[in-house]
Amino acid sequence: MKNYKDTLRVLADADIRATFDAAADRWGRDEVIISAIEECGEFIQAASKELMDKKRDPNNLIEEAADAIITICNTMHELHSLPELNGWIEKKMAKLNRKLTPPED
Ligand SMILES: [Mg+2]
């Protein structure tokens, strides 16, 4: 639980927002979005290999997850805001925790 909250704090960091702004300035808004689409596709491929391929590279899934997370956050920074994304993640994690909590009698 603590680790994902640390991750959210890192993503709200001003230096990271500045890097995302620089990426959008360099490549443009559409390319930021296209990059997220491509990286999510690569993550899906790596996750599929995790299930199907016994000779897979064990670091591939982690690398593609990092790419997907970064490009998704960059897209959310560009189109909405990272605090807004953080708020939704908090809501979704609370929902998951409620699902995992057995009902009281
Ligand atoms: Mg990638």
Distance CA 43, CA 46 (A): 5
- Is there a contact between 81 and 8 (Cβ–Cβ < 8 Å)? no
Lowest mean pLDDT, pick from 11-15, 71-75, 94-98: 11-15
Q: How far is the CA of 102 from the centre of ligand 1 (A)?
A: 38
pTM above 0.85, yes or no: no
Residues with CB under 5 A from ligand 1 (ion): 39, 42, 64, 67
Distance CA 61, CA 50 (A): 7
Span 16-54, pLDDT tens digits: 889 999 999 999 999 999 999 999 999 999 999 999 988
**DSSP assignment string, 49-85:** HHHH-TT--TTHHHHHHHHHHHHHHHHHHHHS-HHHH
Overall fold of domain 2-100: Helix Hairpins (1.10.287)
Q: How far is the CA of 48 from the centre of ligand 1 (A)?
A: 14
In the chain, where the domains are located? 2-100
